[in-house]
């Protein structure tokens, strides 16, 4: 069985408050995008993970794919499986790639072994693997509150836009980014703002992490500037960076010529 865990972008992100458990309450809109990993699973003599593509740091047992398998194997009698993960989504990018792999592993195990876990229960398993993870269970645009795990559907359709993602050669640690932010209650509700025409988002739909991350990493700010110079109708950092995305009604044919060396382009 093969699945294609996709990335997400954040359309606005407000860090609302620090919680006693050290995590932060936030408000954001998650939107799924096409950029995807490939994850294959087959029954095997022992449970193992092999990888190709972008090299993920850390040993296989720390990989969220195996963590998702371990999580379900505590409650279900799962036979051993061989996973192969081909990694295309850069990590430490704010694109939620690791969380997507974890959520798709849960869904694939549930389907393949007919475990009969309902979507609500699957989301609960997912939230123990990462704050971004429950979104990828339904994988539909959603307004998120709590630590990012309380989701309600939001009707946003960006199909007329081309989504272009720029990623500098370095990553930003999510933990560090949260550590450098001063939480504040937002004036406006993001779910409402996201209903405005995309052309009005530039002034209204804000990712709070840009304020704290841009001064330390001017190259990320530069990526957003380039996207606007090239005619993006909206551009923003996603999550805690380091990737930024642009939404284009018309992407210039010579777009790639304007992207400095060392910056990866995904579309």
Ligand X SMILES: Nc1ncnc2c1ncn2[C@@H]1O[C@H](COP(=O)(O)OP(=O)(O)OP(=O)(O)O)[C@@H](O)[C@H]1O
Nearer to ligand X, 168 or 239 (CB): 239
The partner in contact with residue 58, picked from ligand X, ligand CDM, none with C-beta cut-offs of 5 to 8 angstroms by kind, is ligand X
The partner in contact with residue 147, picked from ligand X, ligand CDM, none with C-beta cut-offs of 5 to 8 angstroms by kind, is ligand CDM
Establish how many alpha carbons lie within 13 A of residue 178's alpha carbon, considering only the half-sphere containing its beta carbon.
16
Of 100, 240, 243, 244, the one binding ligand CDM by CB under 6 A = 240
| Residue in 172, 116, 161 with CA at minimum distance from that of residue 11 | 161
Nearer to ligand CDM, 26 or 137 (CB): 26
Residues 141, 142, 148, 150: what is their CA dihedral angle, to the nearest 10 degrees? -140
Interface ranges with ligand X (CB under 6 A): 56-58, 62-65, 91-99, 101, 132, 174, 239-240
Considering only residues 146 to 165 of the shown chain, the ones binding ligand CDM according to CB under 6 A are 147-148
**Are 237 and 243 spatial neighbours (Cβ–Cβ below 8 Å)?**
yes
Torsion angles phi and psi, residue 149, rounded to 5:
-105, -5
Residue 131 within binding range of ligand CDM, rule CB under 6 A:
yes
Nearer to ligand X, 92 or 246 (CB): 92
Instruction: State yes or no: 241 annotated in a binding site.
Output: no
DSSP letters, 134-161, are: THHHH-S-EEEETTTTEEEE-----TTS
Q: To the nearest whole angstrom, how small is the minimum distance from the Cβ of residue 242 to ligand CDM?
A: 12
| Residue 157: both structure tokens together | 């359709």
d(C-alpha 164, C-alpha 145), whole Å: 26
List of residues contacting ligand CDM (CB under 6 A): 10, 13, 23-24, 26, 28, 94, 96, 99, 130-133, 147-148, 174-175, 178, 239-240
């Amino acid at each position: 069985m093969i699945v294609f865990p996709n990335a997400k972008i954040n359309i606005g992100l407000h860090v609302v408050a620090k919680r006693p458990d050290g995590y932060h309450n936030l408000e954001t809109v998650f939107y799924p995008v096409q950029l995807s990993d490939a994850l294959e699973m087959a029954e095997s003599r022992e449970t193992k993970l092999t990888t190709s593509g972008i090299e993920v740091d850390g040993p296989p047992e720390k990989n969220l794919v195996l963590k998702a398998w371990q999580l379900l194997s505590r409650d279900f009698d799962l036979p051993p499986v061989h996973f192969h993960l081909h990694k295309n989504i850069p990590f430490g990018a704010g694109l939620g790639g690791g969380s997507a792999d974890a959520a798709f592993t849960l869904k694939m195990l549930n389907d393949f072994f007919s475990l009969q876990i309902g979507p609500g229960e699957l989301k609960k398993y997912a939230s123990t693997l990462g704050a971004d993870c429950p979104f990828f269970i339904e994988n539909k645009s959603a307004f998120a509150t709590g630590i990012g795990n309380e989701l309600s559907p939001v009707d946003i359709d960006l199909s007329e836009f081309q989504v272009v993602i720029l990623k500098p050669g370095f990553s930003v640690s999510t933990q560090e980014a949260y550590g450098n932010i001063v939480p504040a209650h937002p004036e406006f509700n993001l779910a409402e703002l996201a209903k405005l025409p995309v052309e009005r988002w530039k002034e209204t739909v804000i990712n709070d992490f840009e304020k704290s991350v841009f001064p330390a990493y001017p190259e990320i700010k530069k990526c957003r500037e380039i996207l606007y110079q090239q005619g993006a109708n909206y551009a923003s950092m996603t999550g805690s960076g380091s990737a930024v995305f642009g939404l284009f009604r018309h992407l210039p044919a010579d777009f790639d010529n304007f992207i400095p060396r060392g910056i990866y382009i995904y579309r």
